Amino acid sequence: MKRWKKALCAFLCIPIAAYLAGGGMAGAMDVNASGLTNDLIKEKEQEIESARELKKQLQSNLTDVKKIKEELEAAKNDLAEYVAQLDGQLATIQSKIADLKGKIEEKEDEIVQTQGELESAIEDQNNQYEAMKKRIKFMYEKGDNLYMELIFSSTSFSDMLNKADYIEMLSAYDRKMLDQYVATRELIELYKQQLEEEMAYLEEAKTGVESEEASLNSLIDEKKDRIEQVGNDIDAKEAAIAEYEADIKEQNETIAILEKVVAEEKARLAEESRLKYDGGMFKWPAPSYTAISSEYGNRMHPTLGVERFHNGLDMAAPGGSPILAAYDGNVVAADYSSSMGNYIMIDHGDGLYTIYMHASALYVSKGNFVVKGQNIAAVGSTGRSTGNHLHFSVRLNGNYVNPWNYLSK
């Protein structure tokens, strides 16, 4: 924003200084002041054009950044949707892990229970085995005496047979129970082995699912990091957008201020171009004149031969002698007509004009600013004329007036 303030100061200060140096009045205006100011206006208009080009480039950059931001936001949304899908898969896997953990705990409980049953079976087997060992030892130690004791202790033959059958039944029972305990033990061990195998399978499945869970978590973390990175990129683009928008706003303000200054300066120049006549006396426009050949007012026209109103002064002077601007002003016409010949009309402001006719040559053009006493043409006899002279007229608010009112003899 500091640039346009400096530009504004430079724009305003230089023309004002030139204006003050020129005296500030139409009658004392510097011939080059308008040109300098116009150059400054052109310079500021070039600055406006440069500001517009910069604004255009900023707007193009802004459009590009907004497009990139939109693409990043779309990518972020895609990543977020993908992460949501992964979260769903993760939830499924975690449910599997929880189910496997439950099954493993059940198998562990079954194994613990089976282990207890196995230990109980082993204990029963051992107890049976110990009882058998005692009976076998007892029978071994007694040998034949056992049967003799049974015979002599029997009250009858039938009692003896019963006792013998009992001993045989007891031995068969011991073998049967031992066989059952061994079979039960083997069955429990087999069941325990199956449980342990199932447990190993579940542990392996749990390990695989946990590995899948770890991979999925790693992928989710990676995508979340990418989402964060994209979010940071979006934040950076939003900051760039805000900066571009601020720069564009600044350029708009700069352009508006420069345009206002240029418009005001053009208006000021237009106002200055409307000259204000300060009431000073005119300079004699034909310094080489020899006589007034025709006065202002009614006269007999030299070529038409009829009495007509003469709207100026005819100053007889040598051909080619200088014609001077009577006062400061703007040349509003420098042309040729069949009646006036080569002529010049000068605007002195406040509706006051001077007209110089029948010149042999013109030294100024329409739009030029001339100063009092400046050589603007050469005396001649062009147009409807009978000899070398300057026809000098004065118009005020659209009517011809007597030039003597403004000339000092």
Residue 16 and residue 109: Cα distance in Å, rounded?
Answer: 104
Predicted local confidence at residue 8, as pLDDT = 38
Q: String of b and e for 110-144 (b: at least 16 CB within 10 Å)? A: bbeebeebbeebeeebeebeeebeeeeeeeeeeee
Residue 292 — φ and ψ, nearest 5°? -85, 105
Burial category of 172 from C-beta neighbours within 10 Å (exposed 0-12, middle 13-18, buried 19 and up):
exposed
In DSSP terms, 41 is beta-bridged to: none
- For the question of whether the overall pTM of this predicted structure is more than 0.75, the answer is no
Residues 30, 33, 37: CA angle, nearest 5 degrees: 170
Please give the pLDDT value at position 141: 63
Residue with tokens 């006549």: 277
pLDDT computed for residue 218 by the predictor? 87
**pLDDT the model gives residue 142:** 58
Angle among Cα 128, 133, 134 to the nearest 5 degrees reads 100
Q: What is the pLDDT of residue 219?
A: 82
Vertex 218, ends 216 and 219: CA angle to 5°? 65
Structure tokens at 328: 């400061």
Quick one: pLDDT at residue 17?
35
Residue 16, pLDDT score: 33
- DSSP tally for the chain: helices H, then strands E: 4, 13
Q: Are 376 and 324 in contact (CB under 8 A)?
A: yes
pLDDT of residue 7: 40
Please report how the helices 144-153 and 157-273 are oriented relative to each other, as an axis angle in degrees rounded to 10. 120
Q: Give me the residues paired with residue 329 across strands.
A: 370
Indicate the angle between helix axes 144-153 and 33-142, nearest 10 degrees.
60
Dihedral through CA 151, CA 154, CA 157, CA 158, nearest 10?
-130
The token pair at 160 is 């003896």
Q: Distance between CA atoms of 381 and 385, rounded to whole angstroms?
A: 5
Structure tokens belonging to residue 389: 């002279």
The CA distance from 356 to 394, in Å, is 9
Residue 375: name the closest of 305, 321, 309 by CA. Answer: 321
pLDDT values of the chain reduced to their tens digit, one per residue, 409 residues:
334 334 434 433 333 333 333 333 333 333 344 455 778 788 888 888 888 898 899 889 989 988 988 888 888 788 888 788 878 887 887 888 788 778 778 877 877 887 777 777 677 767 766 766 676 666 656 555 555 565 556 566 576 566 566 666 766 766 776 677 678 778 778 877 887 887 788 788 778 878 887 887 888 888 788 888 988 988 998 898 999 889 889 889 888 988 888 888 877 777 666 678 888 999 999 999 989 999 999 877 665 667 789 999 999 999 999 999 999 999 999 999 999 999 999 999 889 999 999 999 999 999 899 999 999 999 999 999 999 999 999 999 999 999 999 997 6
Between strands 297-300 and 341-349, the pairing is: unpaired
CA dihedral (293, 406, 19, 15) positive or negative: negative
The confidence score (pLDDT) of residue 149 equals 62
Instruction: Give the residue from 92, 45, 112, 62 showing the smallest Cα distance to 259.
Output: 45
Q: How far apart are CA 343 and CA 365, in angstroms?
A: 11
